[in-house]
A and B are shown apart, each in its own frame.
Chain A
Amino acid sequence: MSAILILTPLVIGASWPAISAAAAGAAVALGLVVRSTAKEEIATAEEELAVKNSVEVEVKNSEVLQNVATEQQIVLKAQDGVEVRVKRDARGRCVVCASGQGKSKAELQAFAERFTERMTQCFVYNRVMTELKAKGFQVTSEERAQDETVNIRVRRWEG
Chain B
Amino acid sequence: MPQRDVEISISRTGEVKVHIKGYKGKACTKIGAFLAGIVGKVKSEQLTSEYYEPEEKAAIHLEQKQGK
Which residues of chain A have a CB within 8 Å of any CB of chain B?
1-10, 12, 61, 117-118, 120-121, 123-125, 127-128, 131-132, 135, 137, 140, 147-159
Contacts and interface: CB of A to CB of B under 8 A. Distances in A.
Contacts, number: 150
Contacts of A124: 10, 14, 16, 39
B4 A121 contact: no
30 contacts: A1-B19, A1-B48, A2-B21, A2-B48, A3-B18, A3-B20, A3-B23, A3-B28, A3-B46, A3-B48, A4-B18, A5-B16, A6-B18, A7-B16, A7-B35, A7-B42, A7-B43, A8-B15, A117-B12, A121-B11, A121-B13, A124-B10, A128-B16, A128-B38, A137-B6, A147-B11, A148-B11, A152-B7, A155-B6, A157-B1
Contacts of A2: 20-24, 28, 47-48, 50-51
A49 to B, nearest CB: 27
Interface of B: 1-24, 28-29, 32, 34-36, 38-51
Nearest to B45: A5
Nearest to A9: B14
A3 B32 contact: yes
B18 to A, nearest CB: 4
Contact of B15 (A1, A7, A12, A140): A7
A25 to B, nearest CB: 12
B13 to A, nearest CB: 5
A158 to B, nearest CB: 5
A138 to B, nearest CB: 11
Given A7-B43, A8-B42, 5 more contacts: A2-B50, A5-B20, A6-B16, A6-B43, A154-B6
Contacts of A155: 3-6
Contacts of B49: 1
B42 to A, nearest CB: 6
B35 to A, nearest CB: 7
A57 to B, nearest CB: 13
Nearest to A124: B14
A9 B40 contact: yes
